[in-house]
Chain A
Amino acid sequence: MTPFKKTLAATLVGSAIFLAGCSNDDATSESAATDAAASGAVHPITGEALAADQTFTYWALDEHSSFDPQIVEDVSGSEHVRNLFEGLLNQDADGNLVPGVAERYEASEDKKTYTFYLREDAKWSNGDPVTAGDFVYAWQRAVNPETASPYAWYMEIMSIVNGAEIINGEAPIESLGVEAIDEHTLKVELTDSLPYFPMMVVHTTTFPAHKATIEKFGSEWTKPGNMISNGAYTLSDHVVNERAELVRNPMYWDNENTIIEKIVAIVVPDENQGLIRWKAGEFDLMSSVPTGQFTALQEEFPGEAIAYPRLCNYYYTFNLSESGPEAFKDVRVRKALAYALDRKVITEQILQGGQPQAYTFTPGATANFEVPSVEFASMTQAERDEAAKALLAEAGYSAENPLQFDMLYNTSEGHKQIATAMSQMWKAKLGVEATMNNMEWKTFLTERGNQNFEMARGAWCGDYNEASTFLDLLRTTSGYNDGKYSNAEVDRLMDEAKTMADPSANYTAIEQILAEEMPVIPVYHYAGNIMLHSNVKGWPVNNVEQNWYARNLYKVAE
């Protein structure tokens, strides 16, 4: 068994124990682990020799938005918050739920009430115990209009009783459906039955907050020296747009099994420059690589250039609203454009990063989602091209009367390359004249959101690992449905799925409808492309959400 498999096995055993509703304490192994870790020589489980310097340095494309769990809204900020704080549940290397502050939880039969049992040894970095009240405070804080959390909506989709009403200022904050039964028991009441609710508490917005610190320092509470956190690390230094440094939290309940001593995030707002510095050995991790370079990097750094599936899709949406072109209201036109797209060229020639071709809106990597066998996915590209020509001709478009439209994307070399390839494929195969139109990000979002486009790029990364996080986007009432697609059957199936124990049949049916009506063109599903130095172990490559925790990483001696 390889060291990685051993780690994986250990993690899986941990999650199995948790799911059985038991504590994962194991006095013997923990004791052995403690001794080994204390020696600093070997990994307590795998027996690998550890590097003397356990500093994990990684590249960040942009300065994070905040360290505050209830305020943070970006990926790099969430990474910091997951290391600084700990929520009720965590994820293991495969994305399975494992204990966090909660040792276990119970759900009522109707899945409308969840009770979390908190560990008694969880402490804040100042030594205070982490209590159910800290979660109540944090969750109330998240929906409090005065906090103005940009992720307040997340609490709304968690269906917590009175969540939406509090956000709207129609109910007192104290009426939120979350209650501390005692110091170590937290009860949550939901308005809807949500079988996947436990998966949602992995999100940083639901992490606890230290009331006394926030009340003492106000908005300054997240500065180094002020911040009190309950995660495996504490904030030691922060220079905006340069670096953030985190060090081990000796109060963390599992500190004895934590190996990485220090985390350093360096902001380099340029991928190419970041890659050079990774090559120079300044970073352990580069969490993305410039478009089209991955294959060459795999050859140059075998084993260090890693690709894995991610919970994100990339698509183009048709504007089906009143302001959209008449041509796109014809399903034959939409299908013709979707069929004529050679996704293999895009994934293998342009992206070259192991991205799967997409024929469904929901990525195949989504938990409990079985990719349906939609018709156009099983055809050869030649067959798709023939069908596309026939469909477009049927719709009345020809060389004399070519289909013309604008395709909108936001400024980025990668998006430009894909849009160029798509327009060329349509031109060559169907005689379609697609005009490329790029816009700066915020302008793009505004124009797309106001339906000032004909066809526009879109992408979505799941907020939680369940198909509804994607399919919700195509509901009639969704605020993210920029193409204004509307299908009563899709809406009904989604409503029904929300309370089903196993909604996969509904999701399959929706994907079949999408393949028939083609309101969006699925292009590809994301793959994570990272450069990780070979001495770093424990990276959760199989966690499609890429929720990584530095306390699960370690560096081996070289």
Chain B
Amino acid sequence: MVSFIVKRLLTAIPTLLLLIVVSFLLMHSAPGGPFTSERKLPPQVEANINAKYGLDKPLPVQIVNYVKGIVFDFDFGPSFRYKDRSVNDLIHDGFPVTLTYGAISALVALLVGVSLGVFAALNQNTWKDYTALSFTFTAQVLPNFVMAPLLVLLFTLKLGWLPGGGWEGGKIQYIIMPVIALSTSYMATIARITRSSMLEILNSNFIRTARAKGLPYHRIILRHALKPAMLPVLSYLGPAMVGLITGSVIIDMYFSTGGIGVLFVNGALNRDYSTIMGITILVGVLTVLLNLIVDVLYAWIDPKIRY
């Protein structure tokens, strides 16, 4: 297993390098540049700015300098848009915010989703099952861009219970709505995957054998059924976790959390090359790590899987 993990981490290096080169080329092929603005800059002023940010050099030189900066100094460069800040600063400020509400949302989605899915499966074709299914259907048609304004209208404007946005260092009242808005549709999907997976497991031979042996039902569920039923959930959770943790633009926009989701979108709109690169690399690294964790968990859940 250790050699598998080391091997996976080593193969991630060329993947990330390829990601950097492709992202760099894609960014530079987009029309307009970081300093394209309504107030068109005189050529010399633009040339001075390009020189300051190293954009006057050939593209391969820029890429090499960029990679060198990351490898040797862990420096992702200055932001072209937020000129008082480096990309390291921006990620340092924004990522903990995103990670906080993303991780809590993931946890909520997982706990509630799995519980709901198991509950529905155990009560298959009863009113309890139908109620749970209706709930998941409703939750699934309420994605975060619908949930966010609805929550604000209800809890901020009508009831006045929660602030309409902000982060304030992560105080609980600022976290509640982003977590609800972000976790709801993930939770619904997890519940539905868990339900069908659980039903499949419950109808399998080894469960029937366990029941025939007279094992207590709750023990069958917890010890024998739940673990294998989690495999499809894990498959879904890997990429979903990347989405949750690397930030949601909608959540950042509606709740002005200061997370990195909106930073990435603004980076793209502003052609803030260094910010886009920084966040792209962060997402790339997280994708590799989270997929690795999922693979390790897979092996733990299903010993038949060998790496």
Interface residues of A (CB under 8 A from B): 62-63, 65-68, 71, 73, 145-146, 148-150, 152-153, 156, 167-169, 219, 222-223, 239-243, 266-270, 272-273, 276-277, 279-280, 282, 440-443, 445-447, 449, 459-460, 479-480
Q: Which of B66-74, B124-132, B160-168, B283-291 participates in binding chain A? A: B160-168
Q: Which residues from A are CB-within-8-Å of B36?
A: 442, 445-446, 449
B155 to chain A: closest residue by CB? A280
**In chain B between 254 and 280, which residues have their CB closer than 8 angstroms to a CB of chain A?**
254, 256-259, 262-263, 266, 269-271
Do A243 and B166 contact each other (CB < 8 Å), given the known contacts A146-B52, A153-B45?
yes
A269 B258 Cβ-Cβ under 8 A: no
How far apart are the CA atoms of A269 and B263 in the complex, in Å?
11
A167 B45 Cβ-Cβ under 8 A: yes
A452 to chain B: closest residue by CB? B31
B48 A145 Cβ-Cβ under 8 A: yes
For residue B61, CB closer than 8 A to chain A, the reply is: no
For residue B236, CB closer than 8 A to chain A, the reply is: no
Q: B143-166, CB under 8 A of A: which get 1 and which 0?
A: 000000100110011001001111
How far apart are the CA atoms of A442 and B89 in the complex, in Å?
25
How far apart are the CA atoms of A442 and B78 in the complex, in Å?
20
**Contact-size category for B:** 35 or more
Main secondary structure on B side of the interface with A: loop
Do A167 and B44 contact each other (CB < 8 Å), given the known contacts A273-B149, A442-B271?
yes
B164 A277 Cβ-Cβ under 8 A: yes
Give me 9 other A-B pairs in contact (C-beta within 8 A), A150-B45, A282-B156 excluded. Answer: A152-B48, A167-B44, A239-B167, A241-B256, A242-B256, A268-B256, A441-B269, A449-B36, A480-B39
Q: B247-258, CB under 8 A of A: which get 1 and which 0?
A: 000001110111
Q: Which residues from B are CB-within-8-Å of A479?
A: 40, 42
B149 A272 Cβ-Cβ under 8 A: yes
Q: Which residues from A are CB-within-8-Å of B49?
A: 148, 150
Minimum C-beta distance from A249 to chain B (A): 19
B42 A240 Cβ-Cβ under 8 A: no
How far apart are the CA atoms of A256 and B28 in the complex, in Å?
52
- Most interface-central of A67, A270, A280, A447 (chain B CB within 10 A): A280
Q: Which of B80-88, B180-188, B189-197, B227-235 participates in binding chain A? A: B80-88
**In chain B between 17 and 45, which residues have their CB closer than 8 angstroms to a CB of chain A?**
30-33, 35-42, 44-45
- Most interface-central of B85, B160, B263 (chain A CB within 10 A): B85
A148 B39 Cβ-Cβ under 8 A: no
Partner of B164, one of A269, A273, A449: A273
Partner of A443, one of B32, B84, B163, B167: B32
B83 A66 Cβ-Cβ under 8 A: yes
Q: Which residues from B are CB-within-8-Å of A63?
A: 82, 266
- Most interface-central of A146, A156, A169, A267 (chain B CB within 10 A): A267
A240 B165 Cβ-Cβ under 8 A: no
Partner of A241, one of B32, B33, B160, B252: B252
For residue B238, CB closer than 8 A to chain A, the reply is: no
Q: Which residues from A are CB-within-8-Å of B239?
A: none
How far apart are the CA atoms of A459 and B38 in the complex, in Å?
9
Partner of A148, one of B32, B48, B93, B258: B48
How far apart are the CA atoms of A14 and B164 in the complex, in Å?
41
B42 A153 Cβ-Cβ under 8 A: yes
Q: Which residues from A are CB-within-8-Å of B198?
A: none
Partner of B263, one of A146, A240, A280: A240
B152 to chain A: closest residue by CB? A276
B166 A242 Cβ-Cβ under 8 A: yes
B82 A240 Cβ-Cβ under 8 A: yes
B32 A446 Cβ-Cβ under 8 A: yes
A68 B262 Cβ-Cβ under 8 A: no
How far apart are the CA atoms of A442 and B31 in the complex, in Å?
7
A276 B31 Cβ-Cβ under 8 A: no
How far apart are the CA atoms of A223 and B84 in the complex, in Å?
8
Minimum C-beta distance from B113 to chain A (A): 27
How far apart are the CA atoms of A242 and B101 in the complex, in Å?
15
B148 to chain A: closest residue by CB? A273
B149 A276 Cβ-Cβ under 8 A: yes
For residue B225, CB closer than 8 A to chain A, the reply is: no
B157 A266 Cβ-Cβ under 8 A: no
A267 to chain B: closest residue by CB? B256
B38 A280 Cβ-Cβ under 8 A: no
B260 to chain A: closest residue by CB? A241
For residue B243, CB closer than 8 A to chain A, the reply is: no
Minimum C-beta distance from A196 to chain B (A): 19
